[in-house]
Amino acid sequence: MKNIAIIPARSGSKGLKDKNIKDLKGKPLLAYTIKAARDTDLFDEIFVSTDSKEYAQIAQDWGASVPFLRGEVLSSDTASSWDVVKHTIESFKEMGNEFETAALLQPTSPLRKAQDIVNGYKLMQSKNANAVISVCEVDHSPLWCNTLPGDHSLKNFLNQDLVSTPRQALPSYYRINGAIYIVKNEYLMTTDSIYKEGCYAMIMSKENSIDIDDAVDFKIAEALLSS
């Protein structure tokens, strides 16, 4: 089975300037994802999709391939990561290189380990899955959340049965953590959504699930790496 890792690293981040190449404990952010992908020994190609020659050079310095740059349309705010993945699959096919699976590995998840990716592929094999997506348990149960009325009254904010229920007795909730998406390419190219029959969740630890969106997230990642 031939596998490609696709690491989307568009330039010009608005929330955190040049986030994808920002120095994190002595390495550019995207280097952590490149290394994790390389350490799995699962991928025939580790491709960084970027619109920047500077980013491309950094990616290549850390062991990824960048045979072409992302076009303007795919670099816009309206382009989705799956648009990028499909374009990558088609572009490599035109170059005579086809893959059975693609792993979308966002560089904003630097604490994701190689073993997490390996676990995702093991789950795909054991379930004969079309797609595997990483999740982690949420910090706080959504059952304790609600909208507020204009006067911020907490009347009826919580289900009264919930108030007397011990926290440990509440069901566990999970969120998609953005770290790993593995999909069979044939399935991806023929479906309108991968979140269907044959799509399974792979649970990751909260620590490995940090997703950097802003400066606060970046500081949390630094602290976790330091510890």
- The pLDDT of residue 166 is 83
Supply the CATH number for residue 160's domain: 3.90.550.10
Long-range contacts of residues 218-222, Cβ cutoff 8 Å, at least 24 apart: 218/16, 218/19, 218/22, 218/24, 221/24, 221/110, 221/111, 222/24, 222/25
Nearest alpha carbon to residue 8 among 60, 65, 47: 47
- pLDDT tens for 65-92 read 999 999 877 777 777 899 999 999 999 9
Of the listed ranges 7-11, 68-72, 144-148, 171-175, the one predicted with least confidence: 68-72
- Indicate if the pLDDT at residue 169 is higher than 90: no
Q: How far is it, in rounded angstroms, from Cα 17 to Cα 93?
A: 33
Tell me the percentage of the chain whose pLDDT exceeds 70: 100
What pTM, to 2 d.p., does this model score?
0.93
Total structural domains within the chain: 1
Per the structure, the complete domain to which residue 15 belongs is given by: 3-226
| Average pLDDT rounded to a whole number, residues 103-121 | 98
- The pLDDT of residue 204 is 98
Q: How far is it, in rounded angstroms, from Cα 161 to Cα 128?
A: 40
- The pLDDT of residue 1 is 85
- Indicate if the pLDDT at residue 14 is higher than 80: no
- The pLDDT of residue 155 is 92
Nearest alpha carbon to residue 205 among 139, 142, 129, 124: 139
| Average pLDDT rounded to a whole number, residues 94-123 | 98
Q: What are phi and psi of 133, to 5 degrees?
A: -130, 135
- The pLDDT of residue 29 is 97
- Indicate if the pLDDT at residue 30 is higher than 90: yes
- The pLDDT of residue 165 is 84
